């Protein structure tokens, strides 16, 4: 290992996490002497290889990768976190640069900075490791967009990546990292190697991590539209002077499950790195579990889960976070009745209802965010409206949400369900009725849905 470089490996995360969690409990400062490193942008990384829809992992050789991110903290210096966590061989990067954005994928004049690693312009990141850069003098503000350019001179292995970045990136041949605009570039919509951007801030006193699956990741929302629920929550926080100092990062991962590795590491296995390993973390919002319920319909009964297993997993996240001084909020699992079979099943709906009943009454978390209450049709309990085309990902930003009936109580983004002070929340206030009655409704509606689906299939 090269002397002076700050590598982070999963096996050594314990002390690193404890230090960051302790820092996250401190009050924010007002003077430069109180400045501390906080996460300003982050994304969850996963192993390459699998194709996810039209998204494909890839390698790079004599190419410049240019990626755009939006920071949620302000300060005078930044640092980058680069990931070869799922790489099969050491990753050699010849040059890395960071700049402010003037226009999409075009750097602002006089803002371009070369990024160093232990004083050198390039670095080699071992397999299964991440690397923090040296500090870079660059003043940034909340909501500002930055451009990170990475030049890989030598052929890489398949790159550690985040498939669904919902942000336009690009790649071009040769070393164009210092160019204001790349020439002969090709578009990319996945993120590679760049796992986080931190800011040394004297004003950002709280950091919220949104942790979950595709709903948190922003699946089905507009590319470059900043319309995922964490994006909208950040916008709401910025509107209130009392919460403008709250930074927020998105650690959603499309297709992710809480209990099992599938598309990316399980929520249980990545929680320490992605949440507790977030610099300055003080709060986390957990919204995960629907894929644990639905995916066994595709992969087989051996991976079916019970409500008790999901509840145990959610409790484990809460206990782990609280032991490290992080306040935890948990979201109810949204309706998925309109999802295509075999993702949706009668038994899966019963599990969802049981887990939600526990979530609404639980004492493990500091608070509950009732996402289900925000999106369900009160005239169609317990699932979503039959006229809705919102399928697996019942995100508030899908075009399907806009087509829901006017009686649906969707009048605002899900971010409005979060208490803006992050000191209180809606806990135990939802009316969920008797479980036996709910299960009866579930079976009746699911059977009707199945019959309707069979009739449509026969009519084709």
Q: pLDDT tens, 294-336?
A: 999 888 888 999 999 999 999 999 999 999 999 999 999 999 8
Task: Give the lowest-confidence range in 28-32, 55-59, 160-164, 429-433.
Answer: 429-433
Report the C-alpha gap between 451 and 457 in whole angstroms.
Answer: 10
Of 66-75, 165-174, 334-343, 412-421, the one with minimum mean pLDDT is: 412-421
Residue 146 has pLDDT above 80, yes or no: yes
CB 408 within 8 A of CB 335: no
Across the range 38-57, mean pLDDT stands at: 91
Measured N-to-C along each axis, helices 346-361 and 435-459 cross at an angle, to the nearest 10 degrees, of 150
Residues in CB range of 111: below 8 A, 6 or more apart: 99, 100, 138
pLDDT surpassing 80 at residue 10: no
pLDDT over 80 at 441, yes or no: no
Cα–Cα separations (whole angstroms), residue 275 to 117, 279, 280, 326: 24, 9, 10, 9
**How confident is the model over 404-416, as a mean pLDDT?**
30
Asked whether 99 and 140 are in contact (CB, 8 A), the reply is no
In this predicted model, which residue has the larger pLDDT, 206 or 390?
206
Q: Exposure of 406 by Cβ count < 10 A (0-12 exposed, 13-18 middle, 19+ buried)? A: exposed
309 close to 260: Cβ distance less than 8 angstroms: no
- Kind plus residue range of the DSSP H or E element containing 448: helix 435-459
pLDDT beyond 70 at 167: yes
Q: How far apart are CA 36 and CA 29, in angstroms?
A: 9
If 0-12 CB within 10 Å is exposed, 13-18 middle and 19+ buried, where does residue 271 land? Answer: buried
- The crossing angle, in degrees rounded to 10, of helices 307-323 and 346-361 is 30
DSSP code of 230?
H
CA angle 102, 108, 114 (to 5 degrees): 135
3-class secondary-structure state, position 188:
strand
More confident residue, 131 or 408: 131
> In this predicted model, which residue has the larger pLDDT, 125 or 455?
125
- Sorted by sequence, the CB contacts under 8 Å of residue 379 that are 6+ apart come out as 407
Tell me the C-alpha to C-alpha distance, in Å, between residue 333 and each of 277, 288, 315: 25, 7, 15
CA distance 88 to 232: 36
Contact 240, 174 (CB under 8 A): no
pTM of the model: 0.81
Number of C-beta neighbours around residue 378 at 10 A: 10
CA pair distance 437, 433, nearest whole angstrom: 7
Q: How far apart are CA 437 and CA 440, in angstroms?
A: 5
pLDDT tens across 346-387, in order? 999 999 999 999 999 999 999 999 998 888 777 766 544 443
CA angle, residues 414, 418, 423, in degrees to nearest 5:
175
| 430 prior amide bond cis, ω within 30 | no
Mean pLDDT of 198-222: 93
Give the tens place of pLDDT for each residue, 265-290: 999 999 999 999 999 999 999 999 99
What sign results for the dihedral spanned by CA atoms 149, 206, 414, 309? positive
Averaged confidence pLDDT in the chain = 80
Query: If residue 251 lies in a helix (H) or strand (E), which one and from where to where?
Result: strand 246-252
> What is the pLDDT at residue 5?
58
- Give, in degrees to the nearest 5, the angle at Cα 197 between 192 and 201: 175
Coil, helix or strand at residue 368:
strand
Instruction: Kindly tell me if the per-residue pLDDT of 438 is higher than 80.
Output: no
Portion of the chain with pLDDT greater than 70, in percent: 75
Which residue in 270, 265, 242 sits closest to 255, CA to CA?
265
Q: Taking Cα atoms as reference points, which of 7, 33, 35, 36 lies closest to residue 21?
A: 36
Sign of CA dihedral 396, 398, 401, 402: positive
Q: What is the mean pLDDT of residues 220-241?
A: 87
Q: Which pLDDT value is given to residue 401? A: 31
Section 175-182 average pLDDT:
98
Residue 111: both structure tokens together? 């803002």
Higher-confidence residue of 17 and 77: namely 77
**pLDDT band at 224; cut points 50, 70, 90:** confident
Q: What share of the chain is helix, strand, coil (3-state, %, to 5)?
A: 25, 25, 45
168 phi/psi in degrees, rounded to 5? -75, 125
Q: Rounded to whole angstroms, how far apart are CA atoms 357 and 359?
A: 5
pLDDT at 418: 41
At residue 116, the pLDDT reads 98
Region 237-257: what's the mean pLDDT? 94
Give every CB contact of residue 400 below 8 A, 6+ residues apart in sequence.
Answer: 220, 388, 389, 390, 391
Neighbour count for residue 345 (Cβ, 10 Å): 19
DSSP designation for 274 = I
């Amino acid at each position: 290992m090269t002397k002076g470089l700050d590598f982070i490996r999963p096996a050594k995360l314990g002390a690193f996490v404890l230090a960051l969690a302790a820092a996250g409990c401190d009050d924010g400062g007002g003077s430069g002497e109180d400045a501390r490193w906080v996460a300003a942008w982050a994304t969850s990384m996963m192993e390459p290889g699998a194709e996810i829809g039209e998204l494909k992992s890839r390698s790079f050789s004599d190419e410049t990768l240019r990626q755009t991110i939006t920071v949620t903290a302000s300060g005078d210096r930044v640092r980058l976190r680069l990931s070869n966590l799922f790489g099969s061989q050491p990753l050699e990067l010849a040059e890395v640069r960071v700049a402010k954005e003037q226009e999409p994928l075009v750097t602002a004049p006089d803002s371009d900075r070369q990024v160093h690693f232990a004083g050198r312009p390039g670095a080699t990141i071992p397999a299964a490791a991440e690397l923090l850069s040296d500090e870079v003098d660059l003043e940034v503000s909340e909501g500002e967009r930055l451009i990170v350019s990475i030049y890989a001179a030598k052929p890489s292995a398949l790159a550690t990546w985040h498939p669904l970045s919902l942000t336009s990136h690009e790649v071009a041949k040769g070393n164009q990292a210092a160019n204001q605009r790349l020439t002969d570039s090709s578009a990319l919509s996945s993120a590679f190697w760049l796992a986080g951007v931190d800011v040394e801030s004297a004003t950002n006193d709280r950091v919220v991590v949104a942790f979950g699956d595709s709903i948190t990741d922003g699946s089905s929302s507009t590319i470059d539209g900043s319309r995922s629920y964490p994006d909208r929550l950040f916008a709401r926080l910025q509107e209130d002077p009392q919460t403008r100092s709250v930074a927020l990062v998105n650690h959603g991962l499309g297709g992710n499950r809480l209990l099992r590795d599938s598309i990316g590491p399980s929520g249980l296995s990545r929680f320490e790195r992605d949440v507790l390993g977030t610099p300055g973390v003080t709060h986390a919002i957990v919204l995960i579990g629907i894929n644990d319920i639905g995916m066994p319909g595709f992969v087989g009964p051996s991976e079916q889960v019970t409500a008790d297993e999901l509840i145990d997993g959610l409790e484990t996240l809460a206990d782990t976070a609280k032991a490290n001084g992080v306040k935890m909020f948990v979201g109810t699992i949204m309706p998925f009745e309109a999802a295509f079979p075999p993702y949706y099943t009668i038994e899966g709906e019963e599990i969802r209802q049981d887990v939600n009943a526990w979530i609404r009454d639980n004492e493990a978390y500091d608070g509950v965010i009732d996402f289900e209450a925000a999106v369900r049709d009160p005239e169609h309990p317990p699932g979503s409206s039959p006229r809705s085309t919102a399928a697996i990902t019942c995100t508030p930003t899908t075009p399907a949400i806009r087509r829901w009936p006017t009686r649906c109580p969707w009048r605002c983004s899900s971010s409005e369900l979060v208490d803006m002070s992050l000191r209180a929340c809606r806990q135990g206030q939802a009316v969920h009725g008797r479980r036996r009655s709910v299960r009866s409704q579930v079976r009746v509606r699911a059977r009707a849905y199945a019959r309707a689906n069979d009739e449509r299939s026969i009519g084709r």
